[in-house]
């Protein structure tokens, strides 16, 4: 009798073993290395995980940011199949003020798909609401994590996730550890400063997918010209670090990024 039960159970166990890897692989994670823009010195890493139900988990670690203030954080992208978008470089500084502002770099990174707030809706309509944006600590470090249900994730971002960019805003051109109006008002909102709304770092999805969301902290990004093998997150696949650093301004102070 025991032999008969075991014989009957083996096919079921085999089916379970075959089905389990497929179920585990349903959720796919993608790594984004964030390189400095506007000589901010801000680096980081973002992990975008598309869940099997069409939702998304986002995990971001950044260093070298303006301390104690909010930093707007967005996922930008394109759903027309274009794959030539990039992080804005110094050639996008149309007015020659030494800063690539958000509008000057908008053609490179495309439109906003997700507004990565700490609470509430993630719609792009709230992209200027800094009251819901993540805040860097006193050391300029920011750790962000949020799970978004399918109702808040446009279908296009799931299909074209490899064309997506992550952009973080907020720079400090005069090195006084705060946003001020020395660089002038924002081109997006005269009530805000240019420092507050200009991009601080940027990166696009590069290389192979990560099979699962990594546990614990995320390694911080390196400089914009580095390339390394990321064994922990990409299972040995070589990932190219996104490049987007802007030429330094004479009045700027490069922030030293801490890992």
Condensed to tens digits (0 to 9), the pLDDT of residues 196-206 reads: 999 999 998 87
Nearby residues of 192 by Cβ (< 8 Å), 6 or more positions away: 128, 130, 185, 186
Amino acid 163: pLDDT: 84
Fold annotation for 26-240: Immunoglobulin-like (2.60.40)
Distance, CA of 60 to CA of 118 (rounded, Å)? 12
**Tokens found for residue 251:** 């009045």
Confidence of residue 76 (pLDDT cuts 50, 70, 90): very high
Q: Answer whether 213's CB lies under 8 Å from 59's CB.
A: yes
Amino acid 26: pLDDT: 59
Distance, CA of 94 to CA of 99 (rounded, Å)? 9
Which of these, 159, 32, 53, 169, lies nearest to 106 by C-alpha position?
Answer: 169
Q: What is the pLDDT of residues 114-142, one digit of tens each?
A: 999 999 999 988 887 889 999 999 999 99
Angle at 206 between CA 200 and CA 210, to 5 degrees: 110
The DSSP call for residue 31 is E
Strand, coil or helix: 251: coil
pTM beyond 0.85: the answer is no
| Of the listed ranges 21-30, 107-116, 148-157, 246-255, the one predicted with least confidence | 246-255
């Amino acid at each position: 009798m025991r032999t008969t039960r075991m014989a009957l159970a083996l096919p079921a166990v085999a089916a379970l073993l075959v089905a389990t890897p497929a179920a585990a692989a349903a959720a796919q994670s993608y790594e984004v290395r964030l390189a400095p823009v506007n000589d901010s010195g801000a680096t980081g890493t973002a992990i975008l995980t598309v869940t099997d139900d069409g939702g998304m988990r986002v995990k971001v670690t950044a260093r070298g940011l303006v301390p104690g203030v909010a930093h707007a954080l967005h996922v930008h992208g394109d759903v027309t199949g274009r794959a030539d978008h990039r992080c804005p470089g110094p050639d996008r500084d149309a007015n020659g003020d030494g800063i690539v502002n958000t509008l000057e770099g908008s053609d490179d990174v495309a439109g906003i798909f997700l507004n990565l707030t700490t609470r509430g809706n993630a719609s792009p309509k709230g992209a200027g609401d800094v009251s819901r944006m993540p805040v860097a600590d006193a050391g300029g470090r920011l750790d962000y994590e949020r799970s978004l249900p399918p109702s808040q994730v446009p279908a296009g971002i799931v299909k074209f996730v490899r064309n997506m960019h992550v952009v973080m805003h907020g720079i400090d051109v005069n090195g006084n550890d705060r946003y001020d109006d020395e660089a002038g008002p924002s081109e997006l909102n005269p009530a805000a400063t240019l420092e507050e709304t200009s991009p601080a770092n940027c990166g696009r999805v590069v290389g192979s997918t990560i099979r699962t969301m990594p546990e614990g902290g995320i390694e911080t990004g390196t400089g914009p010209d580095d390339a390394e093998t990321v064994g922990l997150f990409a299972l040995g696949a070589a990932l190219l670090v996104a490049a987007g650093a802007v030429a330094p301004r004479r009045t700027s102070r490069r922030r030293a990024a801490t890992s």
